[in-house]
Structures are given as structure tokens and as C-alpha cells.
Structure 1
Amino acid sequence: MTDSLAAALGRLPALVAGGGFAWWFENGHLEKLSPDTAARRARATPPLLVHFKATAAKLGVEPFMAFDLLDLFAFVRPARFCLPTPHGLLERLSLDAADDEEAVQYLHHAAQMLLEDLPRQQPRALRRSMRLAQLLNKAGWPWASYLLLGLGPEATQAPSGGFGGLDVWQELPEWVDYAPPPPPDTQSVSPTEARERLAQLLGTTAELRETQADYAATVAQAFAPREVIGMPEMVLAEAGTGIGKTLGYIAPASVWAEKNGGTVWLSTYTKNLQRQLDHELDRLFPDPAEKQGRVVIRKGRENYLCLLNLEDATQGGAARPQDMVPLSLIARWASATRDGDLAGGDFPAWAADLHGRNRTLGLTDQRGECIHAACPHYRKCFIERAVRKSRKAEMVIANHALVMIQAAMGEDDAQKPLRYVFDEGHHLFEAADSAFAAHLTGMEGVDLRRWLRGPEGGRRSRARGIANRIGDLVAQDERGRTALEAVVEMARCLPGEGWLARLSEGNPMGQGEKFLARARQQILARSAQPDSPYGLECPTKEPVNGLIDAAMDFAHGIDRVLEPVNTLTKSLSDMLADETAELDTATRSRIEGALRGLLRRKMTLDAWRSMLLDLQTETPAAFVDWFGLERIDGRDLDLGLYRHYLDPMLPFAGAVLKPAHGVAITSATLRDIAPAKADASPEAAWDSAEIRSGARHLPQPARRAAFPSPFDYANRTRIFVVTDVRRDAMDQVAAAYRELFLAANGGALGLFTAIFRLRAVQKRVIRPLAEAGLPLYAQHVDPLDNATLVDIFRAEEHACLLGTDAMRDGVDVPGASLRLAVFDRVPWPRPDLLHKARKSAFGGQAYDDLLTRLKLKQAYGRLLRRADDYGVFVVLDAQLPSRLLSAFPASVEVKRIGIREAVAETAAFLNSMRASTGGQQNLA
């Protein structure tokens, strides 16, 4: 079998593409080709490669047919991590290639290793692999014949079954329901207990740092018993990089959970950071089986695979042949996943990049159409399993968005968290800004209409209207049945599919679309550049003729939806109360789920109605309203009426902080160190933390503590402000990036204030960097998600990465892989209508300075993640004001120099640091 596999694979060419050339390996012969030549050969003979879309992009052509080793890896080793690069895949297979020239010669061996792994599966998994291989062979997947060869003659004889092996739900275990846990006890955590637990987490070989222990003892104060309703024990703790804040707060949190039989919610900003936090908890629970029962990662429903959506996508021939590959990979993964998390969990993010969202991430419950206990897979549902586990877990790893949405919607009130730790606390303001906003837009209207009415116009869709979901629940209740019929009918006032095209043609249908047409008219009429390729906005004041009438007509339409929604909600609530003895558990669960969904949509409709009515008077002082038109590259995407809180921490404090018993908010950048003033209080630096954490909306002050970083910034970093590069001359900006990246020999992060600037630089520097052996990756250019880009950057010491805000905040790369960070210009806030209102409310220019200093501080903080790190920070903007320099450590000199000197000093400093550490950093 091995010989036949090797012979079959040996007939395939292999391809690895770089930034300006490609390596082609065929019949034992290695060639270095131009991108054009490599592309012509690849289209003629499908090659072995890694990530066919990224490879095609590097060759400058459209994707072509290929034997993508990533697909093979995902099939053979489901739910296993692998970087989607040739070197990443080879490393995962314990194959070491020094460069691309060597890597391309290993691809055949990698394919053979994976195919030889197939027969070593457990019997049940092996049988399913055989069925899937047959299915994929019929669908024409290039790898299918090799799968069958690797699996042996038994594979072609295995019965394929009705779903061809895609029916993975058949073998998944059912979740276990638990009795509601008793309320947690209220014992405090002493500073000594926090310090002792920290020492336990660090282990006997690690030195206990006093500052980290002091930090843990401070955070322990958030776990004291609450003394007054609405007044949680709150701690604001700034911990500079290197303090070890993650273990510092895990220590008291874990002690409290154990002593009190309760759950602590650890919330961070992004899904990638949730994953990092989960890894840190391995120290607390080194046994994976024990950790499974005591730690749960929670995300929104839209992150988890919906088994009913998977079944709908596969049954009855619904799937097209080209969809069989992603569906098969999903089925393989679903049988091996830890928790069913498609977004940021153990599902390979690159699978969505390769095969599209519809047959991967699109299989989640994105529109809240779950039918709960009526679903045939309810007892195996990944979401329901996570919800139940979180009720008895000691640690729930959540994200800010989920915490806020659950609080705002009043979901799961019986199990509402009482103790929180918010890491990345500097992001709470923007997370709350998103969670507590209301957007009355075309896309939002279409989603709500679809949720109520289901698919329309004879379209085939997995969408399920409300009648389909709960019609049987109210079939015997005339009041509920009549209300349900009215809801479905009245929802016609909302925008429908194709609304944007109808608006462009001047042919809106229904009250919602007619209102949006008037809003669009006002946006374009009031814009100085209506043909701009970027988004437009305008105030709601002094509306154009006809807009108020259209708004009132739409508000009346929403009233007509709300009336039967309220009746239906009352009918379902009465059913729960009046038929307690008759309702089985499954039916009760369905009713409760239906009520949650209805109440959530009722809140949306109430908000939209208020926004429309306020157009004829004025916006309440707590809010900022405006009309907006979203565009990308000149193409209209969405438009409507937007409402945000002027201070989103007001609803955050009411919904999250006040009901809690204890809250710790921590970050490396909570405070703003503004330039010293003669009359400034020493506590003035905390003003920004009070504003942006919600602490100022509580009746008692938070405890505050700052722990400075132990790192030697003065000797291990340099900061340069370049004075002779015109920031709007993209040739000059690109040349500066190129020379700085070359001087650092890679390990460079380029940060940009706008996507178009990033793209302009990327296309100018990719070839010269590739010729120097420095791979370049770019957000908004490469067909890879942000987390994957960071993973690749972290793994490749000489790689360069370009990104915008998400990269500034989400890159945690200790070691030599990040030694240079370059900002294209001062990251001033975008002066949109919402920011202008907040700037006026929060201090004018001082507010702009605050936000900009925090961005600079966060970006500079990427350089040193460990004591032995070093690096250079460069801003290519002579207009960086001196008052912003307090964002950086006072011990570090900020030098304003020309680009020539900046390049020379960057090279000299990094070379000297490299030499002083023996030519390398510790990459562990």
C-alpha cells in the first residue's frame, strides 16, 4: 500500500509560491519560476500545495484546481491545529524545512504520511471515513481516489448510507441535564489565599514575583461579600506588561469558586484571547478530563455548529457536488471537536477561507431561528451542552459582547453571573457601544422579517419563520393562533429581500423601504461627496420633505407588528403558568426559548419605534442619532437610522455592574498618563479609567491600584518619530516601511490607520521583501482570518505583518518574531458624528488626545511581552504632538529623526541586542 501510494503521489507536481517567485518540484526536478510561469503550469497540471487561495493570490491569478494539503490534513486529523502555510503543515508533521526551496520537496512525503494515518483510526471513525471517501469520490474531490487507496479495498465495499457518512449527529453523545445548583456561598478570599494559589499555579520551579502576588491580593478584594444591593465590590487594576495578570486574577477567582461553590465569569475582548485564556487555565487543571467539567468557553449562538442546519444542508440532495468537501470536513470535525465552536475553537479557521462561509460558518444559528426542544438533535446540541455546563462550571471564559448581550436581553436570569473579571478592560467602552446600540437598517429589517415570515418568493432556504417554529405550540389556543397569523402578516412592513436594488431603482415596496428611500435621499443630498467610495452619514435634523411622513407611517407599521407580538408573548407566558402540570420538560423548554426570541425582537421593535417617533421632535440627551450609508469600494451595502448611547457605560453599569456582587476590571492600559499640569491631582490619571469602565456610574468608588511593568524599556526599546516622510505620499511611506523592515530582517509589524493605505504599501513592498527572504502577510489582502495571520507571524521569525486596529490590539507575540513596530501616522479618532458628540461631552481635544495616547500605548506595548524581548517603535508622522508622548514610558527617549537615521539606528540597535543575547532570543 505504501509503495502504491508513493507512486501515485509521485506523479503530482508540488508548488510553493513566494512574494515574487515560486518553487516547482516535479519528477525529482526542482525549478524556480516566475509567478506567470508557475500559474500556467498549475492551471495545466493540478499541483500539491498548501492553501490554494493564498497560493493563487501570490501568483496574481484566480484560484485554480489543486491538491490542497490543508484539506487532506483537516480530513485525516480533525479538530487538530495546523498553521495554513507549507512550513506550518510540515512542522505539524515533524518535518523540518529550512526554506521554501526545501519545503516544496517535502510536500509529497507530507501527503503520504497523512494518507497512511487514515487506517489507524478507531473502527467507528474508520467506517465513517470510508463512507465519506466514497461520497467525495462521486463529487470529484481530487483527494478522494487517494483516500480510497490509503484506506484499502474495504473502503470501496463499505455501505455508503443515506447521508454518505455526513450524518455525524447519529454518533454524538447526548448532553446531561443537571439540577439547578444552589446559590453560591459568600465567603471572601483573603490576600494570603490569593498569594498561595498563585504560588501553586506557578509551580515549585518558578520564582514568586512580589508584584504579581500583590496584584493577585488586590484583585481578591473583588471577591469580598457585597454589602449593599446595587453596589458591587469593584476593583480597577492596571497591570503593566510582564506582571502576569492572567494568573494573577485566576488565583483569587479559582479560590472563590472552590470555597463558595460558585462560578466566576472571566471575560476578554476577542475570541482569540478567549483561546489564550483557556490555555492558561491548563495550569489550574492540568488533567483535560477534569478541566472539561470545570472550565467552559462561552460564546454567542452564532459561533456553534447547528446540527439541524448541517442536516438540512446535506439531506435530500440539497448539497451541490462542490459543497461536499466542506460538509465532509465539517462532519469529520464534529465527531472530534471539544465543544462544537466553529469560530475560534478547534475548527480550522482557514477552512472558511478556502471553502466560503456558507458551508462552514454559515451552518451556525446566525439568525436566532433555533427551534429548541422541537429539534431532533436537541439532546446533542453543542450550544445547549455549553449552556448547561456553564451553570455548574467553576470558570466560564466569555467575551465582553456575550456578557453584555445576555445582560441586556435578560437571558438566563436564574443563572446570572455574580462575579466577573473583565480582562482587556480598555475595550469595555467599545464593546458596550456595540452591544447597547440600535440600528434600524435595511439588513437588520430583512433579518427580522425573515425571522418572522421565513423564506419568501419560493426561495429555497434553511430559514424558518416563526409559524414553522412555534405554530404547533399555539395550535389549540385561539388567541395565540390569531396573534401568530397577524405577526406574520404585519411583518410585511419591514424591508424584504432585494430592498437595496429596489431603492436604487426608485421602486421601494412597503413602509420600511419607503422610509429608507427618504433616508438615502437625505444622506446623498447632505453629503459633500455623494459619489465617495466610502461610507456616508448625515444628521437627522432638518429632514428632507417626506421623510417625517415616511417615518411615522413606518412607526405605525411597527405598532401593528408589536400588538400581536405582545399578545403572542402573553399567550405563551400564560401557557407556562396555567399548564404547569401538563407541560413536559421538552415543551416547556420550547416555550421558554420562543419567549426569549420574541422578547428580544420586541426590544428591537420598541427601539426602532422610539427612534422613528423622535425624528419629529429631537433625540433624547442620552443618545446620538444619525443616518448612515455603508459602502465598501464604492458599493452600497446597507443604510438606515443609527442610535448609540452618548455614554454606553451607563447601560453597562445598569445591566452588568449593579446586579453583580463583585467585579474586577484589569488591563495594561486602563489609565491615561497625560502631560503633567501644575494643578493636576495624582489621581487624575484614573479619570479615564472611571469613565471607560462604568465605575463612575456606581454609588460607591472602585478600589484602584496600578502595578508598573518590571521591564527595562529604556535599554530594551527605542522610539523614533520620522520627520521627513510625507505621510500622504504613499511611495514615500512604502519606501520607509520597506527599508525599516529590511533593516530589522523581518519580525516587523506594520500598523495602519486606513485599509487603503495598507493595501497601497503592501503591493509596493511585497516583492523586495520576498527577494530578501522576508515573507509578508497582510490583513484585508491575504485570504486568511486575523487570528491565523497572527499565528503565522508568531511562528515565522522573519515574517512581516501589516494590519489595522485589530492587529494593534490582538497581537501577542513574545520572542524574536516581533522586534519592530511601525505606525503609518498618528492614529487620531475618526471624526464621525458619534465621535464628535462624545468629544464635545467628554472634554474636547483632551478626549481625542486620550484615545490617541491609548492607541499608541497599546501599539508600543506589543514589543515587550517578556523580560528578554527587545524592539523598535517607529511613527512615520512628523506631526505627532509632544503632548501625546506621555503614552510611552518616561524612561525612554523619543527621538525625532529622518528616515535615513531611523533605518540606520534600527539596524544598529537590533543587531546590538541580538549580539548581546547570543544571536537569538528564547522562543519558548
Structure 2
Amino acid sequence: MSAAPPFDSPPNGASILLPDTKALGLKARGAVLVSTDGEVDELSAREAGEKLASAPLLLCHRGFTLRRLTGPRSRAQPHPGTFDILDLFAFVRPARFTLPTPQGLARALGLPVPGEAEAEALFLFEAAEALLGELTSPAYPDKEEARALANALAKAGWSWGEAVLAALGEPPEGRRALSGENGLRIWRKLEEWEERAPPPPPSQDPVPPEAARQRLAELTGPGAEARLSQSDYAARATHAFAPKPAPGMPSLLLAEAGTGIGKTLGYLAPASLWAQTNKGPVWISTFTKNLQRQIDQETRRLFPDPAERQEKVVIRKGRENYLCLLNLEEATNRVPAGTDFIATALIARWALYSRDGDMVGGDFPAWLPAALGRPRLAAEMTDRRGECVYSSCPHYKKCFIEKALRKARHADIVIANHALVLHRAALDFAFHQNGDDTAPAEHAAGAEDELPDHKLLPPRLIFDEGHHLFDAADAAFSGHLSGFEGSDLRRWLRGPEAGRRGRARGLSGRIGDLVAGTPEGEEALQAVLDAAQALPGPGWQSRLNQGQPHGPAERFLAAVHAQVRARGRDEGGFYSVECDVLPVSEGVSEEAPKLDAALSRLERAMRALADILRRTLDEEASSLETATRIRFDAAIRGLDRRAGTAIAGWRHMLKALAGLDIDEAAGDPNPEAPRFTDWFAIERQGGNDVDVGMHRHWIDPTEPLAETVLAPAPGVLITSATLRDEREEETPDDGFAPSWAQAEIRTGAAHLPSASARAYFASPFDYAEQARIFIVRDVDKKNADHVAAAYRELFLASGGGALGLFTAINRLQGVYQRLSEPLEEAGLPLYAQHIDAMDTGTLVDIFRAEEKACLLGTDAVRDGVDVPGRSLRMIVFDRTPWPRPDILHRARREAFGGRKYDEMIVRLRLKQAFGRLIRSAGDKGVFILLDPGLPTRLTTAFPPEVPIERLGLAETLEKVRDFL
């Protein structure tokens, strides 16, 4: 390290130390190394990768940089002393936003944005100087806490440790030995939640339309442009806040609001009025976690005071999204030094300042795990396997999840997601389908799992991005009897086995003390543990590959694997393979009854143990402490849930293999039409088999959605920019439902006893002036070189701001390899989903911020991008987005109209993709499809006023340049 005193006199003995090394900047086909005095070395990608592995360079995002230099499949590692500027930012500004690029850091720090690679590299010294300078300020908060953590990090070998300690004014003689008092035990500083009395039921006063218009005007402000369509939307949305008209029928409104209407504020206006007037919460559910964040930002208009907003607005997600303090503590105790310690320490630093402990889409820096070379880091710190021990956890009173649960009961606005809402609905549905009336509604306060059951459904629900409800319900109400699911249940029951480590304690660790001393309870617990050995055990994948399965579940999976290999269509080893269940092979027919018998024993044992715990809880009600009662309740609920949903569902599926009708086995004898479809599959990732099993899906998953969510709810608004299917011809006698009927089918409204209310609001944009659509007719979509060349020329013609959409990951990867160098040489940064070491949300954030950037992505990008302005001025689709022709689609195609069902899906996908292009009145953009085979009848997906031209690539390029 070398001293560099940019500040005249840092206070309290603090000093600024900058890395005594060179900074690395990426460029086309390589990188540059720049010293503090401006000396520049140009290196090839190979040379830069070797240098990065051998020397402690200064850079931005080690994971992204390494991937760019050495390739996506390289196993190279950076030098352990690498100075990643993002590490320093995460320490100095915890829970603060920045894009993980030099340009993003410059904006976050208020510094001039660098341009070329040399300037980017030199900027890293400037950024380090600025961040360390913040630490020298007397006003920097919690310096003692920062010193303790920095000291531990320095002892653990963190490259920035000495510089941070010097900036904090910590003299060498004041350094402490690495110990438990190292600043990582942040839970000691977190506030405890306090139990509050349950809120009374809300009243049911409606929201007058004119009041909604007035509230919207207050939210937009006096200087805002008047938008009559947005005001009309807010007034119409009040229908969902009217009293419930009849049993089983909510006040339901389907509302399609074209892009630019401003539907978020449009529904927040009546929602906030209803919550304020009736003293009850309104739940807003959206499809992605990024959209949750966007809606949360809009609520700042409702509650400008941050303290009030903290109480009135709550983001709710599943447990797997939040930092588990027990996981953090165990990680702290387990990793005394090295990269894992550094990663854990920076997470602890973030958690101390986090708004709510949300690690997925919240204020956690999503780029941090990949930047540290630990992409699985966030997942390891959350509760992803249902292992929460509730009140027996030492951090229960400070738990982020428990805080969110309690705040949601008293909030005005709860921002959830479809997965959370429908997951809980699916659990209740499974309980009731299996005739179990002890569904998890009756549990102690504070021990609830996700969303309360439908006896406690939110009084009002808004489903934004409502066009995703069909797919969200499909995921929530499906069943999977697979190796992964079975081994996950075994781990929940038995804990780590075969010498493996992990924080999962199994039933013995969680409830052993609750049954200790009672022979009946101890025997019941042991019976569960013994029966669980029938499930796939540690190493099951290796045993299947070696042809040596052990136990009923593994032998069944081996037979399924053999049937799929024999009958499925294998497309080169990188795609999952599937086959029909019937007729079953001899091996499956032989093993299925054995597995069913083993699961029956396990189900009976789990129910017996739950009954014993339930009885003990009842008999000792007067003497048990609240914390112990919650532990009993959590254990009962966990056993009931897994026995009554997972295992009972698996057994229904196995009975179908024994010759029973599929729907009869699922409790629906002799239906007029099949309700389910089953299949076997081998799941693959990166060319490797990762799972195998049997799958069951509802053909129409909105049927249970309507039963468990819509029918019990008092009022529901389902809204989106793409609810309706725009068809060229819509006649009621052509055997296929017209557009609004399709919206009702795909949202579940068709299963309610009476018709829903409907509303349509056209986009206010002048598409004829703002957009163009080109279908390129002379590019061979099957030739990767031709497709890549087309992307290259189109992206160059737009000068960046281009989004490339693909219907398959392998095609995206192939185009990226051919595209990256020419675009980089032209000064157009290229980012790609499934290639760059960043999460999708971060990639979109970077794309939004950089006007010349280009981005390649798949469905997640198509459905979740909101990029107004010049940052998105071109969308290129590689081919018509036909649905994947798998077994599930075959069943739905037959049920919903054959070819016309396929075309409806394509139109909705094209409509959704085009909707990404024009997001504000000043936008201008082109939509391009590299597929001459697009039928004209599918172009009704686009606004009718937009010119659509079928041209060759050369003509398209000329027109694109002229238009843009």
C-alpha cells in the first residue's frame, strides 16, 4: 500500500491509503492496466486473465471481469488479494444502491462518469479515494461498529482491511485479535418486534369514484400532466372495493390498461382510500420481485414521510427471500478466515442497515455474491428448506420474517407476489382435497407460514401483471414426485446424514426435547425417522447414475429414468427429456406399489406424531409458556403440511400408475373431461442430469385458483396491459372464445358463478409516429451465423439501446459468442442473461442506465423490463415465440382449442414484448422479428396503427437508421 493524501488533513489520525497496484479496465478483446500515474498496458483477454490470477489488481466486479476475460465455463480464480471496488462500496455504504459498473459507481458517488477503458480503470482509484474519504469524516455513523468489523476483516485477509482501518483512524496498536467480538454479531443491535393486539375486521364502505379521482390528483401533484384515462381507470377500479355482492362471488374487475396509462397510481388511489376508510389492508400482488420494488417506490407518493411509510407499507415475500439470523450466526462461527468470512462479514454489515432483511429484490446488493465469487451465497443465508425453528431460535424476537409478518397485519398496503399468495392457497387446497380439516389455519400467533389461509385472506386483493396468473397458478398447484423433492423431505425429517454438515437439524433437533421422557412420543418420533429412510438419501444422484439405487424411492426413480431414456426424445443432452406416463414400463409398474406402501407408512407415522404433539399441547395448555406453545404449533403444522400435501399428493400420483384413472386417483372420479395430466421427466442443467421424477399439473390451474382465492375474497382487481387476446376475427360460433372470454379463462374468472366486470383503457401513445415493426424475410433462423450477423448489424444500426430476445438459451449463447467482440469494438457494451455473472435484475438496471448498452435475454427479460427513454429503442426477437411442444402443452392445446390456443399464446407474448418498447410519450423504437414465417393473423397482437413491413435485412437496416 502507498500513501496518497488527497485530503488536506483527515481528522483523528485518519489517513487515505490507496492500493499499490494497477487498475484493470475491460475493452474489446482484452483489457488495459493503468497505474496511478497514468501508465497504460494493453493486454489480450488471455494475458489479462493470467494477470488477474497472479496479481492483486484493482477492478470492478471480479466475477463479471473474470467471466469476460476467461469465458463463461472457465474455472479460473482471481488472485486472493484482488481489490474489488464493490467490496469497499458494500462496506462504506451498506444497503445503498449502486450499479456494479464504473459508470454506476460514478453516479452513486457524484463523480464524473468515465468513458473509455483507460478512463474506467483510472476512475477506480478516484472511487476508492472518495469512499475511503467518507470513512474519515467525523459524521460517519457507527464508527466503533465499523472499526470492529474492519479489524476482523483485516485479520481474515480482506484486501481493503488496512486501508479501511487507516481511514477510520484505527492505529496498529489498537487492533484486536480475531474473536467472537468482531462486529459480525449484528443481531445484538437489531430492534425486537413487539406483539400487538389483532386488528378488528375492516368495515366495508365503498370508495366513491370521484373520491378516487381526487386521491389520484393528490398523488400526481398539482404540476402533473392531466391524464383523463388514468383518472377514468382509478374511478373504474373502485368496483373492486365495493361490498361483496353474493356468496362465492367477489366484486371482481378485469381491467386492461395499455402501456402509459399509469395503472400503479391508478389503483393505489382507491386502494389507499379503502384502507384508510375501512381500517384494513389491501394486498397488491405482482409477478416478479423487481415489480414489487417498483410498486413500493410509487408508494412514496402516498406516504412521503419515511417513518410513516415504514409502518403503512410492507413488502411480503416467502421466507426464502429473507436473511435468516440463525444462518448468519452459524456462518459467523463456522468461517474464521478467508473468502467465506469476508462474504459473511459484508452480509452482516448490510443486515445492520437493511430496511427489512430482504435479500432478493430488496436493498441487498444483488451483485455482491457474484462479485465475491460466491453466487450461491444469498441462498445459503436464507431459510429455503422450511427449517425455521420459530420461537426456539435465539433470534426469534429480532427475525426479519417475523417482523414483516406482524407489520403486514397492521399495514395499509401490503405488496406481495403471485407465488406467495398462491403458494399458501395451494397448501390449503391440498388439505381440504384430502379431507383434512386441521388445515394450518389454527396455529399460534407468530407461527404462521407465508400467507394465512383463506379464512384470513386479505379483504381486498389487486393482482397486477394479471396475465401471469395462469402460469403462477400452474406452478403453485402442481405436484412433483422427484428425487430432489423426496431428498428435501428426508433432510427436513432426518437432518444431515452421512457425515455431511449443514444447519438442518431434522426433527430430532427441532422437537426432540418436546417429546423427551414420554415413551409414546419418543417412539412416534423414531418411527418417523425410520420410515423416512425410504426416501432418496444423500448421494442418490450418483447411485442412480451407477445403477445402484437404494430404497423404494430410489428404485422407483431408477425405473422412471429408464422409461424416459427409452421413450423420450433426447435433443442433444442439454435439454430436459420427458415421456408419457402410460403405458407404464414393467419396472415402474413393479416399483410404484412398493413406494406407495413406504410412503403410506411415513404418512401414518407423521400424522401419529402430530396427533401426539397436538394432544400434549391441549393437555398442558395451562402450563406451557408462549414460546413453547409456538414450537409445538410449528412442529404440528410442519408435519401436517408435509403429510397432508406432499406425501398425500405423491400417493395419489402413484395410484394413477397402478391402473386407476388419473382424475379418480386425485379424488375426482369419472369427470366429464380430464382435469390433470401426468408425465415422467429427466431434468437437466448444463448437460447434466439433476433430477428425475413424475409430474402432475392441472390442465386448467385457474380452477383451484378460483376456488381458493377468488371466490372467498370480498373484492379483487385483476389488471395488466395484456389481458385480452386481440384476434383478427372474433365470432362466438367459431369454437374459440373471443378476447374477453379468454381473459376470464386465463385469470379464473370463468369459474365464478357470475360474470366479472370488465374495463379497457387504450394506451395514450401515438404508435403510428413512435414505433415501427419489421419482419425480416431473408434471414435463415436455423443458421446461427446468419442470425448473429443480423443481430450485429441491427444493433450497430440502432447505436445501442437494443434488447435481443430469444426463445431458447442455447441460441442466445451462440449469438453472444459471435456478437460480443464487434459490438465492444464499436463502443456498444453487450450484456447477456445466462452468461454474465450477474442476476437478471442487475443486468436490466445496467441496461437502463447505459444508453449505448445492448442486452440479450429470454422470458424473464421480456416480461420484466421497464426502460423508458433512449436506453431501449430496439427489440429484436429471434423467432416466433410458439409454445414449447411438451406433454403439458399437448393436454392444454386439446382442452383449449387446438391451433387457436397456440396462436393466442403467441399473440399475448408478442403483445407483451412490444409493450416493453414504448414506455413514455417521448419514446421512439423499432420492433423486429427475424422470422418470415409469422402468419399475418398473429400480427393483430400489435397496435393496429403501427406500420408493419416485411423486408429484407438490408432494407430493414436502412429504414431503421432513417427512423431512429
TM over 0.5: yes
1:229 CA displacement: 2.3
- Mapped to 2, the partners of 1:7 and 1:339 lie a distance apart of 33
Deviations 1:590-646 (A, max 9, x none): 222222222221110100011111111232121110000011232111010001111
* Residue equivalent to 2:634: 593
User: Is 1:529 matched with 2:575?
Assistant: no
- Mapped to 1, the partners of 2:593 and 2:336 lie a distance apart of 44
Amino acid of the structure 2 residue aligned with 1:675: E
Amino acid of the structure 1 residue aligned with 2:92: V
Conserved 8 A contact 2:16-2:166: no
Conserved 8 A contact 1:57-1:63: no
Instruction: Identify if the C-alpha distance between structure 1 residues 91 and 373 changes in structure 2 by more than 3 Å, giving closer, same or farther.
Output: same
* Residue equivalent to 1:247: 265
Amino acid of the structure 1 residue aligned with 2:90: A
Amino acid of the structure 1 residue aligned with 2:84: D
* Residue equivalent to 1:58: 68
Provide the secondary structure at the position in 1 that maps to 2:344.
Answer: helix
> Paired residue for 1:729, among 783, 787, 812?
783
Q: How does 1:662-677 map to 2 (within 5 A)?
A: 662-677=715-730
* Residue equivalent to 2:84: 68
* Residue equivalent to 1:834: 888
Amino acid of the structure 2 residue aligned with 1:97: V
Amino acid of the structure 2 residue aligned with 1:221: H
Provide the secondary structure at the position in 2 that maps to 1:335.
Answer: helix
- Mapped to 1, the partners of 2:189 and 2:933 lie a distance apart of 62
> Paired residue for 1:748, among 802, 806, 809?
802
* Residue equivalent to 1:508: 549
Amino acid of the structure 2 residue aligned with 1:93: L
Q: Which segment drifts farther, 306-315 or 738-747? A: 306-315
Conserved 8 A contact 1:351-1:360: no
1:658 CA displacement: 1.3
Amino acid of the structure 2 residue aligned with 1:171: K
Instruction: Identify if the C-alpha distance between structure 1 residues 122 and 571 changes in structure 2 by more than 3 Å, giving closer, same or farther.
Output: farther
- Mapped to 1, the partners of 2:246 and 2:225 lie a distance apart of 39
* Residue equivalent to 2:193: 175
User: Is 1:637 matched with 2:690?
Assistant: yes
- Mapped to 1, the partners of 2:180 and 2:536 lie a distance apart of 39
Amino acid of the structure 1 residue aligned with 2:103: H
* Residue equivalent to 1:45: 55
Structure-2-length-normalised TM-score? 0.92
* Residue equivalent to 1:917: none
User: Is 1:607 matched with 2:676?
Assistant: no
1:344 CA displacement: 1.1
Deviations 1:347-369 (A, max 9, x none): 10011222324443311011000
1:2 CA displacement: 6.0
Conserved 8 A contact 1:523-1:629: yes
* Residue equivalent to 1:897: 951
Deviations 1:289-323 (A, max 9, x none): 000001000000001111111111121x4455220
* Residue equivalent to 2:670: none
1:213 CA displacement: 1.1
Listed as ranges, the gaps of 5+ residues in structure 1 are 911-924
Instruction: Identify if the C-alpha distance between structure 1 residues 577 and 6 changes in structure 2 by more than 3 Å, giving closer, same or farther.
Output: closer
* Residue equivalent to 2:20: 11
Conserved 8 A contact 1:52-1:354: yes
Q: Which segment drifts farther, 475-484 or 893-902? A: 475-484
Q: Which segment drifts farther, 355-364 or 692-701? A: 355-364
Amino acid of the structure 2 residue aligned with 1:407: A
User: Is 1:298 matched with 2:316?
Assistant: yes
* Residue equivalent to 2:364: 347
Deviations 1:434-466 (A, max 9, x none): 011111110111110000000111222111101
Q: Which segment drifts farther, 473-482 or 777-786? A: 473-482
Provide the secondary structure at the position in 2 that maps to 1:456.
Answer: coil
Q: How does 1:219-258 map to 2 (within 5 A)?
A: 219-258=237-276
Provide the secondary structure at the position in 2 that maps to 1:546.
Answer: helix
- Mapped to 2, the partners of 1:155 and 1:808 lie a distance apart of 53
Deviations 1:211-249 (A, max 9, x none): 111111111101111132221110000000011100001
Residue correspondences, number: 909
Conserved 8 A contact 1:438-1:643: yes
Q: Which segment drifts farther, 60-69 or 561-570? A: 60-69
Provide the secondary structure at the position in 1 that maps to 2:18.
Answer: helix
> Paired residue for 2:662, among 619, 622, 630?
619
Provide the secondary structure at the position in 1 that maps to 2:919.
Answer: coil
* Residue equivalent to 2:385: 367
Conserved 8 A contact 2:784-2:815: yes
* Residue equivalent to 1:90: 106
Conserved 8 A contact 2:494-2:506: yes
- Mapped to 2, the partners of 1:548 and 1:268 lie a distance apart of 42
- Mapped to 2, the partners of 1:650 and 1:134 lie a distance apart of 58
* Residue equivalent to 1:652: 705
Instruction: Identify if the C-alpha distance between structure 1 residues 124 and 817 changes in structure 2 by more than 3 Å, giving closer, same or farther.
Output: closer
- Mapped to 2, the partners of 1:769 and 1:51 lie a distance apart of 21
Deviations 1:699-728 (A, max 9, x none): 121100110101001111000000000001
- Mapped to 1, the partners of 2:509 and 2:801 lie a distance apart of 54
Q: How does 1:73-152 map to 2 (within 5 A)?
A: 73-100=89-116, 101-120=118-137, 125-152=142-169
1:495 CA displacement: 0.4
Amino acid of the structure 1 residue aligned with 2:690: L
Instruction: Identify if the C-alpha distance between structure 1 residues 549 and 41 changes in structure 2 by more than 3 Å, giving closer, same or farther.
Output: closer
1:384 CA displacement: 0.4
- Mapped to 1, the partners of 2:336 and 2:254 lie a distance apart of 52
Provide the secondary structure at the position in 1 that maps to 2:142.
Answer: helix
Instruction: Identify if the C-alpha distance between structure 1 residues 178 and 657 changes in structure 2 by more than 3 Å, giving closer, same or farther.
Output: same
Provide the secondary structure at the position in 1 that maps to 2:662.
Answer: coil
* Residue equivalent to 1:30: 40
- Mapped to 2, the partners of 1:646 and 1:7 lie a distance apart of 64
1:676 CA displacement: 1.9
Superposition CA RMSD, Å: 1.9
* Residue equivalent to 1:479: 520
Conserved 8 A contact 1:134-1:155: no
1:475 CA displacement: 2.6
Q: How does 1:133-532 map to 2 (within 5 A)?
A: 133-154=150-171, 157=174, 159=176, 161-315=179-333, 317-319=334-336, 321-355=338-372, 356-410=374-428, 411=449, 412-413=452-453, 415-529=456-570, 532=573
Amino acid of the structure 2 residue aligned with 1:29: E
Conserved 8 A contact 1:163-1:314: no
- Mapped to 1, the partners of 2:483 and 2:101 lie a distance apart of 39
Deviations 1:465-487 (A, max 9, x none): 01211122233544333222211
Conserved 8 A contact 1:480-1:567: no
> Paired residue for 2:615, among 574, 579, 585?
574
Conserved 8 A contact 2:730-2:739: no
Conserved 8 A contact 1:285-1:291: yes
Amino acid of the structure 2 residue aligned with 1:560: R
- Mapped to 1, the partners of 2:77 and 2:956 lie a distance apart of 40
Q: Which segment drifts farther, 561-570 or 233-242? A: 561-570
Conserved 8 A contact 1:130-1:155: no
Listed as ranges, the gaps of 5+ residues in structure 2 are 7-13, 429-448, 664-673
Provide the secondary structure at the position in 2 that maps to 1:220.
Answer: helix
1:768 CA displacement: 0.7
Instruction: Identify if the C-alpha distance between structure 1 residues 201 and 677 changes in structure 2 by more than 3 Å, giving closer, same or farther.
Output: closer
Structure-1-length-normalised TM-score? 0.96
- Mapped to 1, the partners of 2:709 and 2:646 lie a distance apart of 19
Deviations 1:225-279 (A, max 9, x none): 1132221110000000011100001111111101110011000000000000000
- Mapped to 1, the partners of 2:481 and 2:173 lie a distance apart of 55
1:32 CA displacement: 4.1
Provide the secondary structure at the position in 1 that maps to 2:835.
Answer: coil
